[in-house]
Structure 1
């Protein structure tokens, strides 16, 4: 079988992480199929199943510092999405493999396992231990990867680097910059769920009072939208600007390279909004609203749920306090739970050099560019082990392919899969 055929076989197993439809038999079948597809990996690596389904494979090597490679195998649902293909068909045509998980995150898992299987067949022994971790509940922010990280900490494992999903090799994402960019996440934003609640007496809707719960909640939401969190230059954004200089025209490159320009970079990106704005500020999205029980009854309670992505430099406590100040209404309670941003890894040093050397082997035209990942990943659980933690999947993907992650018609080009295998082969053979 080819790597694409093996990935297709895994895509066909619907390991959907949704409590309403989760099929544990599918997850068990997935683990069994991995053993069939990668016999040397399962014969020669230590195999552990953690927290009910997360796989932890250990390839013992020499005395050098270990590395940890993460790639979860659970996927998001496909319900109510207008797929043109069978999302679990794994069809390959025209050099493209179609199906849920092709990129997020079974494709990266296959890239890792293909590299390990080939190196085992060649008799290669890694310079240090290699830990391959495949979470079974990443998409629902479960505890599988967290349990593995805790076990590694208890064993005193201190990796040189940890690598998980994140940025990719892309083009056209930065205005005015030509050529492929390898966007490598140095950290990720924190994630919080904030609940706003306000109450009133209720009663018959024919006599509505002033200051209804729904109105006060609406006022709170409009105040939050009118006063976004400030945009700031964080170290990862400054490193990103420095990395982009070789691909920028001289006047722009000179401006970005000036020390005096650094404080203004964050506010400038904030004005652009969208992805650039999300890199430099804490963002707030209203994701759920609830109020009332009938069309002719005043709502006694109104609630809103906010998804907040916390930028480096902010924390959960400060975010909660600022939201309460902006709302300015003591009748609206603000309750929050979540995690602070992860520490930022270095865009220099042995781990970074090993990453960029592997990238030069697999994607020689790509410029390594550090950034802050705005999504959450299992990597956040491994930041306490020491070493550098990066978020990067070595796949060249288009804007359309990126948009299909978590959406309809997720797919991966076979050439991109082959290059990702080459990246991991170079990464593991290094040292």
Structure 2
């Protein structure tokens, strides 16, 4: 496979600004259509051999027929991206600049990079005359970033045809270094599950009036107290079996003092949960339900008292909890009937996928083929992905990007200066090639 060619093809796709929006009609349908057309031009062999259909407003579902009728493998990605406004980019986010060994731009990792890695592998295998042992489906979403319906349409289509996948692989964990205390080497973390997502509004009202005569304890003050109570009473830290499995797998590669600690993780669950909760933002998110205040609203004018104060909370629900138990706890913690807790949308955590089967073993082997020095560990994905929809029809749904990413590169996801190295993109394509070739 051609590393430089793959980088240039990714750069071309980055230049097509497929920004999705939750506002109906706000996304540019012509831009998304241009992206789909360009795919056919960049990957002609894939489009000559695989069957392609467009679902809904632009989700893509490909079928590569295998040599047997065994249940298929589904490889997922999405080609919509988040907006760039208000971010301090040092380069044009849609330039697709290839410079100093990196491809720069929005979607370089999330998630056009994954799509290109998949298509590079498929194109190379088709060119080599390879037919996979089982069917391979490519499910490429057009609205993942706005919690859209593209993946749900793919699941519905497969369900209508009586197809239950052997395994599903979507974005999620990555190959990371220095993320675990005492573990100096690289670790490929493969998501077995993902946390639930809950959007909540806290709303409280007042009579309002002129700001020259304020009322003590008005709507903004009540809202502020509610937010502070949530901040001061975080959800409890607990070590779920998935996280315990990660600690156990990673601990085998830790330095001596940490190896002894991790070896007894099962008996030290409460203490280890507390340690992880204080080890940084990422580790804390693994062991508890998290609450982020993402939006505040008050008075529309500087000299008018607010008649309504609103806070939007984005909540990621830990395994073992539900939307209902989370909302119930919020109400107890706030303890103020004048502050209404409104559920905007929500979904419970996903089921936990198997790690004791041939599918996980093959995925692990492909990760080691691409990164021979990396340990492979199960992982809890703290973000949401389209993969959760496939849990309805498959018990082996995994979340893993085969990319070696630094802390800075991970921090650029959904932020300024997103980028991926040419070498990492090439290794990712090698991962998918190994995965498909060894089905």
Q: Which moved more, 1:420-429 or 1:342-351?
A: 342-351
Q: Which moved more, 1:183-192 or 1:207-216?
A: 207-216
Name the SS of the counterpart of 1:65 in structure 2.
coil
CA contact (8 A) 2:105 2:418 kept: yes
CA contact (8 A) 2:84 2:415 kept: yes
1:149 to 2:155 alignment: yes
Deviation at 1:346, TM superposition (A): 2.3
Structure 2 gap ranges (5+): none
- Are the structure 2 counterparts of residues 288 and 44 from structure 1 closer, same or farther at C-alpha, using a change threshold of 3 Å? same
* Within-5 A mapping of 1:75-90: 75-90=81-96
Q: 1 CA distance for matches of 2:210 and 2:86?
A: 37
* Within-5 A mapping of 1:25-104: 25-61=30-66, 62-104=68-110
CA contact (8 A) 2:168 2:394 kept: no
CA deviation map 1:15-59 (0-9, x unaligned): 111348522111111111100111121111111101111111111
Deviation at 1:210, TM superposition (A): 3.6
RMSD across aligned C-alpha pairs, in angstroms?
A: 1.5
Structure 1 gap ranges (5+): none
Q: 2 CA distance for matches of 1:57 and 1:211?
A: 58
Deviation at 1:418, TM superposition (A): 1.0
Aligned to 1:313: 320
- Are the structure 2 counterparts of residues 209 and 94 from structure 1 closer, same or farther at C-alpha, using a change threshold of 3 Å? closer
Name the SS of the counterpart of 2:278 in structure 1.
helix
CA deviation map 1:400-430 (0-9, x unaligned): 1111121222111111111111100010011
Aligned to 1:216: 222
Deviation at 1:226, TM superposition (A): 0.6
Q: 2 CA distance for matches of 1:51 and 1:95?
A: 37
2:202 to 196, 200, 216: 196
Q: 2 CA distance for matches of 1:83 and 1:363?
A: 31
Q: 1 CA distance for matches of 2:15 and 2:429?
A: 21
Aligned residues: 431
Deviation at 1:319, TM superposition (A): 0.4
Deviation at 1:366, TM superposition (A): 1.0
Return structure 1 stretches of 4+ with deviation > 4 angstroms: none
Name the SS of the counterpart of 1:320 in structure 2.
helix
Name the SS of the counterpart of 1:87 in structure 2.
coil
Name the SS of the counterpart of 1:247 in structure 2.
coil
Deviation at 1:293, TM superposition (A): 3.2
- Are the structure 2 counterparts of residues 5 and 210 from structure 1 closer, same or farther at C-alpha, using a change threshold of 3 Å? closer
Aligned to 2:8: 5
Q: 2 CA distance for matches of 1:359 and 1:71?
A: 18
Q: 2 CA distance for matches of 1:291 and 1:95?
A: 47
Q: 1 CA distance for matches of 2:281 and 2:61?
A: 37
- TM-score, structure 1 normalization: 0.96
1:235 to 226, 230, 241: 241
Name the SS of the counterpart of 2:158 in structure 1.
helix
* Within-5 A mapping of 1:243-322: 243-258=249-264, 259-322=266-329
